[in-house]
Amino acid sequence: MITLKSPREIDIMRESAEILRQVFIGVRQAVKAGVTTQQLDEVAEDLTHKYKAKPAFKGYRGYPATICVSINEVVVHGIPSGRKIQDGDIVSVDMGVVHKGFYSDAARTWPVGKVDEERLELIRVTRESFEAGVKQFKAGNRLGDISAAIQARAESSGFTVVRDFVGHGIGRALHEDPQVPNFGEPGRGVLLQEGLVLAIEPMVNAGTHEVDVQNDRWTVITRDGECSAHYENTIALTKHGAEILTSGCED
**Strand residues in the chain grouped as ranges (E):** 54-55, 68-71, 74-76, 90-99, 102-111, 160-161, 167-169, 176-180, 197-200, 203-205, 211-213, 220-222, 228-230, 233-238, 241-244
Q: How many CB atoms lie within 10 A of CB 248?
A: 15
- Residues in the chain where the model's pLDDT stays below 70: 251
What is the model's pLDDT at position 39?
Answer: 98
**CB-CB contact of 67 with 80 (8 Å):** yes
CATH of the domain at 121: 3.90.230.10
The answer to whether position 42 is within a domain reads: yes
Taking alpha carbons only, the member of 113, 108, 123 closest to residue 85 is 113
Q: Please give the order of strands across the beta sheet that includes 220-222.
A: 74-76, 220-222, 211-213
Give the structural domain span for 74: 7-244
Quick check: is 250 in a domain? no
| Residue 66 vs residues 11, 29, 39, 101, 179: alpha-carbon distances, Å | 24, 17, 11, 17, 23
Domain assignment of residue 51, yes or no:
yes
Assigned domain for 251 exists? no
Residue 249 lies in a domain: no
Q: Are 105 and 232 in contact (CB under 8 A)?
A: yes
Total tally of structural domains belonging to the chain: 1
Residue 2 placed within a domain: no
Whether residue 107 is contained in a domain is answered as yes
Rounded Cα–Cα distance for residues 67 and 82 (Å): 14
Q: Which amino acid is at 159?
A: F
pLDDT at 249: 86
Residues in the chain: 251
* pLDDT of the residue at 153: 98
